Structure 1
Amino acid sequence: MLFVYECTENIITDFKKFYDTQLSAEDKRKIFIPTYDCMKKYQGSWHIEKKPLFRNCFFIECRDKKELKSTLNRQHCSDFLAEDVMSGITSLRLEQEEFLKELMQPETKTISMSTGYIKDGTTYVTQGPLQGREKFIRRIDRHKRLAWLMLPEGEGQWELRTGLEIISKG
């Protein structure tokens, strides 16, 4: 099961410190910040950069809340922080979880760049994780090489960005 912990501004530094200093490598695979690859132009050429998929959000992969609580206690998380995490997490719907897992690389939890083209106003993705998922693309910024997507079956509006390079438009 995949949970989302959306940190508030005053908690984010505490949680990042706990994440960086207390968590083992194995637990960091279960508690992670998903990222996406995007292109940025500097010094006259394009470079790939990693950016967080959602602002101030950590994703937690575990069976249930009980397992998460035992992980936090085992890693010597402060009571205040553990209580905030337990009260602030929400579980993703199955459709959302499957969608994100299909997009992300399993080891790095990163959504890599996609490549495609636009023909007669329709976007076709030829390479990358967005291939076959064109219907979820809501907006494309060809200059910044970004695509905005909406999570399926979402409560509210869960929008995410990912890298998409449009190589031709006809």
Structure 2
Amino acid sequence: MFYVIWVKSQKEHEFKAKFEKKIDASLYSRLLLITRIEKQKHRETYIEKERLMFPGYLFIETDCPDEVHEILNSQPEYIKILGNDGQFLPLTKREEDFINRITGHTERVDMSLGIIDGGVVKVLSGPLSGFEQYIVKVDRHKRKAYLEMELFGEAKKIVAGLEIVAKS
């Protein structure tokens, strides 16, 4: 099951490296710090930049959440495993499927390609394919899509790379 570890923003990479050194790899199968690819204009061209998709969040796939939590309690950078009333709640099946689909079982969300047809966004390829209903805004110049959906028990705004190749 996937669980979410909430850490201090801008310390995610540092915390992940410490986590991997201190915690026995047999306690978890995957530790994800999910990033997204976005294109940023630099002079006359666009360059790809990698940014955190969920700043302050690490995703851990484990069957031993209590053991992991006990070890994490000794870490000063650690804030908490997201849960309810002291119990650690795994991501819902829907949330886990979303994470797996948009990352392709990796740690990275690539750019998507789409069109706008009659004011409706249609994703032609990429990780946002099938998630058009969650897109609330598209910034064609910055090549970004803004999604709004429920994750971790609350409404979240998510930014992902989306290049619109045609508009009619």
TM-score, normalization: structure 2?
A: 0.79
Q: 1:49 to 1:12 in 2, by over 3 A?
A: closer
Deviations 1:113-140 (A, max 9, x none): 1001101111111111112221121211
Aligned to 1:35: 35
Matching residue's letter, 1:51: R
Aligned to 1:129: 127
Identity of aligned residues (%): 25
Matching residue's letter, 1:148: Y
Aligned to 1:92: 91
Matching residue's letter, 1:105: G
Aligned counterparts, 1:72-91, within 5 A: 72=71, 80-81=74-75, 84=78, 87-90=80-83, 91=90
| Alpha-carbon distance, 1:159 to partner | 2.0
Instruction: Supply the distance in 2 between the matched residues of 1:118 and 1:145 (Cα, whole angstroms).
Output: 13
Instruction: Supply the distance in 2 between the matched residues of 1:49 and 1:36 (Cα, whole angstroms).
Output: 8
User: Quick check: 1:14–1:81 contact (8 Å CA) kept in 2?
Assistant: no
1:118 corresponds to 2:116: yes
Q: 1:151 to 1:63 in 2, by over 3 A?
A: farther
Aligned to 1:144: 142
Gaps of 5+ in 1: none
Instruction: Supply the distance in 2 between the matched residues of 1:167 and 1:11 (Cα, whole angstroms).
Output: 36
User: Quick check: 2:112–2:162 contact (8 Å CA) kept in 1?
Assistant: yes
Matching residue's letter, 1:80: S
Aligned to 2:159: 161
Matching residue's letter, 1:89: L
Instruction: Supply the distance in 1 between the matched residues of 2:100 and 2:76 (Cα, whole angstroms).
Output: 26
Q: 1:13 to 1:98 in 2, by over 3 A?
A: closer
User: Quick check: 2:28–2:63 contact (8 Å CA) kept in 1?
Assistant: no
Instruction: Supply the distance in 2 between the matched residues of 1:33 and 1:59 (Cα, whole angstroms).
Output: 7
**Coordinate RMSD, CA, aligned:** 3.1
Query: Secondary structure in 2 aligned to 1:138?
Result: strand
Query: Secondary structure in 2 aligned to 1:158?
Result: strand
Q: 1:27 to 1:167 in 2, by over 3 A?
A: farther
| Alpha-carbon distance, 1:6 to partner | 1.3
TM-score, normalization: structure 1?
A: 0.78
Gaps of 5+ in 2: 84-89
